[in-house]
Amino acid sequence: MPAEKLSKASAAINLNQLHFPMKKLRYYFMAGIAGLAIVLSSCKKSGDTSNNKENNQALVAKGFVVLPRHFSNQMTVTANLLPFESVEVKTPVAGTVLAIHFKEGQKINRGQSLVQIDDRIWKAQIKRLEAQLLAAKEDLQRKKVLVTAEGASREELESAESSVQQLEAQIEELEVFVDLAKVPAPFSGQAGMRDFSVGAYLSQGQAITQIAQSDRLKVDFNLAGRYVSQFQAGKEITIIANGDSLIASVYAINPVVDANARTIRVRASLNNKNNWLPGDFAVASLVLDDQDSALVIPTQLIIPELGAETVFLYKNGKAVKQTVVTGPRNHQVALIAGGLQPGDTLLATGLMQLRNGMPVKISETENSTEL
């Protein structure tokens, strides 16, 4: 064989030896892919069977039966205790204090003199004017007789009458000053402190003491404007202070809502049987809504959604989503204003797993009357 042909044959043999391992590797690779596909298909079928089995299995949950019951929506707000009447008494006239007729902290009766301001000058002036008035009245009587006999003119009679009226007015003015010098109490209450003594000179308008009527108290509190329609004069509320409570009666509601806080001011009064002090911390317990046959459910059964609130009803072994309209609520229950009927059964557990139409099995139930 020529050398050229031997060289070509040798080259062909070497190429065949190189291609054989590649073909074998391709065969094993394709076989591996086929096996993996079989395994995945088997797992998928197994998973589908498991899911079908799981879907066919009902979710076990507790039920809640909606029954009518009494519902009272209560709210607690901070309240201010105020004296029913309170005033800082100031001296109406200037003068020297001749006497003090009250003790600090004692009960004061209406009209009782608190202090006596020196009024001797006014009394002396009254005596002088009374003497002048007596003479003026006698002169007036003479003028009336003379006018009848045409011995005096009408102008002289009118002048005499005017003199009498002026003297009477001056006396009346001085008598007012004499009364004011006694500084009478404007109403009954408890006196506060004083910062002067007998002999002190008090300027007009200078403070004498504070008088507060605390046997009755005013109770002030602010309420959201939307609740105003549920309040009217005569409504009773409970006031709690110092670990005790008293019943107060609403007697005034501010006609204007505060533009900043959107609240309205309500005022009530109470008989202070517990001797509470004005300014004590207190809270007002308000009943905003009271119904005897209301549908209420626990607040945790309500599922908030965008623009709606829903619950899950139990019907024919399945969970059915139902939109509800809620009313007032407290920390425990919510009033249902629409969407439910007495006797409906709600699903109370597993709410995160529930889907509309899911099979459900009730394990146990409770109802509204047990809340």
Identify the pLDDT of residue 41. Answer: 52
SS (HEC) of 40-72: HHHHHHHHHHHHHHHHHCCEEEEEEECCEEEEE
Write out the chain's pLDDT in tens, 371 residues. Answer: 444 444 444 444 444 444 445 545 455 555 555 555 554 454 444 444 444 444 458 899 999 999 998 888 788 899 999 999 999 999 999 999 999 999 999 999 999 999 999 999 999 999 999 999 999 999 888 888 887 767 677 788 888 899 999 999 999 999 999 999 999 999 999 999 999 999 999 999 999 999 999 999 999 999 888 787 777 888 899 999 988 999 999 999 998 888 888 899 999 999 999 999 998 889 999 887 778 889 999 999 999 998 899 999 999 999 999 999 998 887 788 999 999 999 999 999 999 999 999 999 999 999 877 77
- Three-class secondary structure of residue 29 per DSSP: helix
Identify the pLDDT of residue 19. Answer: 44
Tokens linked to 285: 């317990």
Contact (CB, 8 A) for 247 and 239? yes
Identify the pLDDT of residue 63. Answer: 95
Tokens linked to 276: 């509470």
Work out the burial of residue 234: count CB atoms within 10 Å of its CB; fewer than 13 is exposed, 13-18 middle, 19 or more buried. Answer: exposed
Report d(CA 329, CA 288) in Å as an integer: 11
Query: Phi/psi class of residue 225: alpha, beta or left (left: φ > 0; alpha: ψ in -120 to 50)?
Result: alpha
Identify the pLDDT of residue 26. Answer: 54
Identify the pLDDT of residue 133. Answer: 94
Identify the pLDDT of residue 144. Answer: 82
